[in-house]
Chains A and B, each alone.
Chain A
């Protein structure tokens, strides 16, 4: 079993739709949660990060963490064709000597104009 599971997609939605991207993780010691966006043949770009359960909003993006069920989500409102990319969830421990990010495999999103 992978430590972080993520549906690879592809997920295709019309422009303006609300997008829901999800990950589950198995290690309850993970304390730090991130979403990255990666365009084709580019480096991952940090979108959101959070330490705690609950919601965190930034513009059209909302990150949601439920530590009790080990479930993390990213919602994109009013999706745009420019949002078409692969979205990676990532987690890590808060151990100062172990800062490795554990990534999901990524969900490929296509927003149709």
Chain B
């Protein structure tokens, strides 16, 4: 059973460009979570999604960031007009149900030049 998959693993963008990060949950998992890990800081929750629904986006920055989990295909975290402060590791996690443990993917390391 493949784990949580994320791509790309590394992404380099210039200031002002858009970044799209993809996450495919584990087979049978319908709950997806996104976290951000800034250099020398802990993991911070961003958003929790189920298929076609955003359940909790209390950790998402108010501007430039959006997330979706369509009926078909991976979950997407989109960052518009990236700035240097967006440079971080972005991790996706998934769980089979609402109260189950979350399993993390390998992360996407975003570097903004």
Binding site for B on A (CB under 8 A): 6, 32, 34, 36, 41-46, 49, 88, 90, 94, 96-106
The answer to whether B104 touches A94 (Cβ under 8 A) is: no
Closest Cβ of chain A: how far from B14's Cβ, in Å? 23
User: Are A36 and B59 within 8 A (Cβ)?
Assistant: no
Taken residue by residue from 95 to 112, chain B's Cβ proximity to chain A (1 for < 8 Å, 0 otherwise) reads as 100110111111101000
Number of chain B interface residues as a range: 20 to 34
CB distance from B11 to the nearest CB of A (A): 14
- Pick the contact of B56 from A97, A104, A106 — CB < 8 Å? A97
Contact: A46 with B101, CB < 8 Å?
Answer: yes
B94 to chain A, nearest CB (A): 11
| In the complex, B69 has a CB within 8 A of chain A | no
Q: B93 to chain A: which residues have CB within 8 Å?
A: 101
Interface centre among B42, B48, B109 (most CB of A within 10 A): B42
- The interface residues of chain A, by DSSP majority, are classed as loop
**Chain A contacts of B45 at CB under 8 A?**
100-102
Q: A98-B56, A100-B58, A106-B42 are in contact. Are A43 and B105 (CB under 8 A)?
A: yes
B73-113 toward A: CB 8 Å interface, digit per residue (1/0)? 00000000000000000010101001101111111010000
Q: Name B59's closest neighbour in chain A (CB-CB).
A: A100
With A99-B33, A99-B48, A100-B48 in contact, is A105–B41 under 8 Å at CB? yes
Q: Which 7 residue pairs of A and B lie closest in terms of their CB atoms, listed nearest first?
A: A100-B45, A43-B104, A105-B42, A103-B43, A103-B42, A43-B106, A96-B98
